Amino acid sequence: MMQPGKMIEIANQMNKYKLDIIALQEIRWQGQGRIEKQNFTVIYSGTDARTGLYGTGFMMTNKMRLAMLEYEAINERICKIRIKGKFRNITLISTHAPTEDKTDIVKDEFYDKLDEVCSKVHKYDTLLVLGDFNAKIGKHENQSHVAGKYTLHEENSENGDLLAQFATRHKLFIRSTTFPHKNIHLGTWKITGTNQCNQIDHVLVNRRHYSTVINIRTLRGPNCDSDHYLVKAVIRNKIVNVPRMAKNKIPRWNTELLRTDGETLEQYQQEITNKITQKRNKEDSNLATIEEEWTKIEKSVIEAANQTIGERERTRNEEWFDQECEDAIEEKNKARKQMLTRNTRRNCELYKESRRKANMVIKRKKRQHLNGKLEEVEQLNNESESRKFYAAIKKIKKTFQPKADMCKDKDGALITEEDKVLERWKEHFSDLLNTEENVPRTTEPHESMNEEATEPPTRTDVRAAIARLKNHKAPGEDTIVAELLKWGGEDLNAAIHDIVTAIWTQEKMPEKWHTGIICPVFKKGDKMECINYRGITLLSTAYKVLSSIINDKLKEITETKIGEYQGGFRPNRGTTDQLFVMRQIMENCYEYDIDL
Domain boundaries, the chain: 6-235, 256-314+450-561, 323-397, 564-596
DSSP helix/strand/coil, 56:
strand
Structure confidence at residue 162 (pLDDT): 94
Q: What is the mean pLDDT of residues 389-414?
A: 77
- The alpha helices in 434-489, defined as continuous H runs, are 459-467, 482-486
CATH of 6-235 given 3.30.70.580, 3.30.365.10, 3.60.10.10, 1.10.1060.10: 3.60.10.10
pLDDT of 33 over the 80 cut? yes
Q: What is the mean pLDDT of residues 229-248?
A: 83
| CA nearest neighbour of 523 among 515, 511, 531 | 531
pLDDT digits (tens, 9 = 90+) for 208-223: 999 999 999 999 989 8
For residue 546, name the pLDDT band (cuts at 50, 70, 90).
very high
Q: What is the mean pLDDT of residues 525-532?
A: 87
Q: What is the mean pLDDT of residues 196-204?
A: 93
Structure confidence at residue 525 (pLDDT): 84
Q: What is the mean pLDDT of residues 295-306?
A: 91
- DSSP secondary structure, 243-289, as one string: PPPPP-PPP-B-THHHHH-HHHHHHHHHHHHHHHHHHHHHS-TTT--
Mean pLDDT of the chain: 87
For residue 596, name the pLDDT band (cuts at 50, 70, 90).
confident
Q: What is the mean pLDDT of residues 356-385?
A: 89
Report the range of poorest mean pLDDT among 104-118, 171-185, 380-394, 578-592.
Answer: 380-394
For residue 446, name the pLDDT band (cuts at 50, 70, 90).
low
Structure confidence at residue 246 (pLDDT): 61
Structure confidence at residue 470 (pLDDT): 93
Q: What is the mean pLDDT of residues 80-87?
A: 90
Burial (CB count within 10 angstroms: exposed 0-12, middle 13-18, buried 19+), residue 565: exposed
Contact between 325 and 5 (Cβ < 8 Å):
yes
| CA nearest neighbour of 2 among 37, 38, 50 | 50
Contact between 408 and 528 (Cβ < 8 Å):
yes
Q: What is the mean pLDDT of residues 160-176?
A: 94
What backbone torsions phi and psi does residue 508 show, to the nearest 5 degrees? -145, 135
Cα separations in angstroms, 270 against 131, 266, 280, 309, 471: 65, 6, 15, 13, 22
Round to whole Å and give the CA distance between 125 and 69: 12
Fill in the DSSP letter of residue 155: S
Burial (CB count within 10 angstroms: exposed 0-12, middle 13-18, buried 19+), residue 141: exposed
Q: What percent of the chain has pLDDT over 70?
A: 93
For residue 437, name the pLDDT band (cuts at 50, 70, 90).
low
The crossing angle, in degrees rounded to 10, of helices 345-382 and 323-341 is 170
- Of 468 and 437, the one with more pLDDT: 468
Structure confidence at residue 322 (pLDDT): 85
pLDDT of 136 over the 90 cut? yes
pTM of the model as a whole:
0.74
Round to whole Å and give the CA distance between 471 and 480: 12
pLDDT digits (tens, 9 = 90+) for 471-521: 999 999 999 999 999 999 899 999 999 999 999 998 899 999 999 999 999
pLDDT of 344 over the 90 cut? no
Round to whole Å and give the CA distance between 157 and 155: 7
Structure confidence at residue 278 (pLDDT): 81
pLDDT digits (tens, 9 = 90+) for 328-337: 999 999 998 8
